[in-house]
C-alpha cells in the first residue's frame, strides 16, 4: 500500500466532514420534500411545509458543491474515476436536484391547484431520487466497483445496482424520510405536526431495520476482515437508529437528535471503512486507489488548507445565523397572504408588537 501524507489525510477528513454535513442537513430537506402531500392537505398547509425549509434548503446544498470542489482540487484522480464511472448515476442525481429546486421556486407562481399539484409531485420525485441514489453511490464506493490498472471504470450502470448497493439506497431513503418527518414535527404545529409525528412513528422502525442490516453487511464484508473502528461506528449508528425508532412520537427533539446521530455515524462508518483508499476495485485489490495515488501536490494541498482555515468558519457562522433567524414554528394559520419567509417574520413581529425593520413591506405586500 502506498504511503500517505498528513495533508492527504487532513483533506480526506475534511471532505468526509463536508459530506457528513450535507447528509445531516440535506437529509431532512429530502424528507420534507417527499412528505409534502402526505402531511399537507391544503394549499396553506403545503405552503407551511415548504416554508419550514424554504430559507435554508439552498444553503444546505452548498455543502455538496464544496465537497465536490474539494474532491476535484485535493484528489483529482478520485474525482476523475468517480465522475466518469458513475456518470449516469450522478446525472440522475443532478436531474433530481434540478427538478426539486425548480419545484421550490415554481410552486407558488400560479394560483392554480393543478399547477401546484404538478410541482408537488416533481418535488417528491426530486427529493426521493437523490435520497435513494446517494446511498447506492456510497455503497458502491465502499464495496468496490470494476476498476482496471489505469483506475478507469470498466463496468456499466447495472454494475452499480447490486443487492448490497440497493440496500444502501433504501437505507438512506428511509433514514432521510424519518429525519424529515421528525423535523416537520419540530417545526410545525397543529395538524401538520400530528401527521408528521404519525409518519415518523411508522418510518423510523423501518429505517432502523434496513439501516442495521446494511451496516452489518458492510462490516462483515470488509476486505481483510472486520475493521474495528468501522464496526464501532456502525454499532453506534445502529443504537441511534433504535433510539430514534423508540423516541419517534414521544419526544421530537430527542428523536431528531437520534436520527441526526444515526446519519453522522452511518456515513462516518463508511468513510472509516474506505480509508486509506479513495476507490475500491472489485476486479483486483491491486487496482485499489489510495490517497497518495489520487492526491494533488503538496503545494496545492497546503494552499487549500490555508483557504479552508480562513473561509470555512465564516460559512459556518452565516449558516448558523440563518437557522437562528428562521427558527420559529409555522402552521397553516400563518399563511393567508404570506408568501415568503421574510413576510412571515414581519407578521410574527407585528403579532408581538415589534415594528418591522425599515424598508419592509410587511405581509400585506
Which tens digit of pLDDT belongs to each residue from 110-129?
A: 888 999 999 999 999 999 99
What are the C-alpha distances in Å from 142 to residues 145, 173, 217, 288, 363?
Answer: 9, 18, 12, 11, 50
Please give the pLDDT value at position 342. 53
| Burial class of 112 by CB neighbour count within 10 A (0 to 12, 13 to 18, 19+) | exposed
Residues of the chain with pLDDT under 70: 1-2, 225, 334-365
How much is the pLDDT for 353?
A: 55
pLDDT value at position 285?
Answer: 86
pLDDT of residue 200: 96
CA-to-CA distance for 99 and 55, rounded, in angstroms? 18
What does the pLDDT read at residue 2? 62
At residue 338, the pLDDT reads 54
Helix (H/G/I), strand (E/B), else coil: 353: coil
Does the pTM surpass 0.95? The reply is: no
CA-CA distance, 246 to 252, in Å (whole number)? 11
Please list, residue by residue across 78-91, b when 16 or more beta carbons sit within 10 angstroms of its beta carbon and e when fewer do: bbebbeebbeebbe
* pLDDT given at position 329: 82
Helix, strand or coil for residue 364?
Answer: coil
| Helix H or strand E encompassing 290 | strand 289-290
pLDDT of residue 348: 54
Q: Quick check: 49 and 188 in contact, CB under 8 A?
A: yes
pLDDT of 345 reads 55
Question: What is the grid cell recorded at 252?
Answer: 421530537
Query: Contact at 8 Å (CB) between 49 and 200?
Result: no
CA 124, CA 161: separation in Å to the nearest integer?
22
> What pLDDT does residue 337 have?
57
Amino acid at each position: 500500500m502506498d504511503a500517505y501524507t498528513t495533508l492527504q489525510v487532513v483533506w480526506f477528513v475534511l471532505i468526509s466532514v463536508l459530506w457528513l454535513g450535507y447528509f445531516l442537513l440535506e437529509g431532512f430537506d429530502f424528507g420534507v420534500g417527499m412528505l409534502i402531500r402526505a402531511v399537507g392537505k391544503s394549499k396553506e398547509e403545503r405552503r407551511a411545509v415548504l416554508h419550514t425549509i424554504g430559507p435554508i434548503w439552498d444553503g444546505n446544498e452548498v455543502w455538496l458543491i464544496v465537497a465536490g470542489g474539494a474532491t476535484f482540487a485535493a484528489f483529482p484522480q478520485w474525482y476523475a474515476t468517480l465522475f466518469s464511472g458513475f456518470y449516469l448515476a450522478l446525472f440522475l442525481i443532478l436531474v433530481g436536484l434540478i427538478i426539486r429546486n425548480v419545484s421550490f421556486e415554481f410552486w407558488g407562481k400560479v394560483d392554480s391547484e393543478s399547477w401546484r399539484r404538478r410541482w408537488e409531485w416533481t418535488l417528491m420525485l426530486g427529493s426521493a431520487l437523490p435520497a435513494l441514489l446517494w446511498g447506492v453511490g456510497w455503497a458502491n464506493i465502499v464495496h468496490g466497483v470494476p476498476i482496471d490498472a489505469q483506475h478507469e471504470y470498466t463496468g456499466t450502470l447495472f454494475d452499480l445496482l447490486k443487492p448490497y448497493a440497493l440496500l444502501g439506497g433504501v437505507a438512506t431513503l428511509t433514514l432521510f424520510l424519518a429525519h424529515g418527518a421528525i423535523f416537520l414535527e419540530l417545526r410545525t404545529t397543529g395538524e401538520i405536526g400530528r401527521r408528521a409525528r404519525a409518519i415518523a412513528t411508522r418510518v423510523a422502525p423501518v429505517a432502523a431495520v434496513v439501516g442495521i442490516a446494511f451496516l452489518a453487511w458492510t462490516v462483515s464484508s470488509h476486505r481483510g476482515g472486520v475493521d474495528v473502528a468501522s464496526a464501532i461506528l456502525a454499532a453506534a449508528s445502529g443504537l441511534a437508529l433504535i433510539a430514534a425508532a423508540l423516541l419517534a412520537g414521544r419526544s421530537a427533539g430527542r428523536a431528531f437528535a437520534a436520527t441526526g446521530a444515526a446519519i453522522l455515524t452511518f456515513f462516518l462508518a463508511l468513510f472509516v471503512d474506505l480509508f486509506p483508499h479513495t476507490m475500491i476495485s472489485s476486479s483486483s485489490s491491486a487496482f485499489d486507489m489510495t490517497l497518495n495515488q489520487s492526491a494533488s501536490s503538496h503545494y496545492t494541498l497546503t494552499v487549500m488548507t490555508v483557504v479552508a482555515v480562513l473561509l470555512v468558519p465564516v460559512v459556518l457562522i452565516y449558516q448558523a445565523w440563518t437557522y437562528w433567524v428562521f427558527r420559529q414554528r409555522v402552521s397553516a394559520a400563518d399563511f393567508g397572504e404570506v408568501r415568503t419567509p421574510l413576510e412571515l417574520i414581519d407578521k410574527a413581529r407585528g403579532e408581538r408588537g415589534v415594528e418591522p425593520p425599515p424598508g419592509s413591506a410587511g405581509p400585506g405586500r
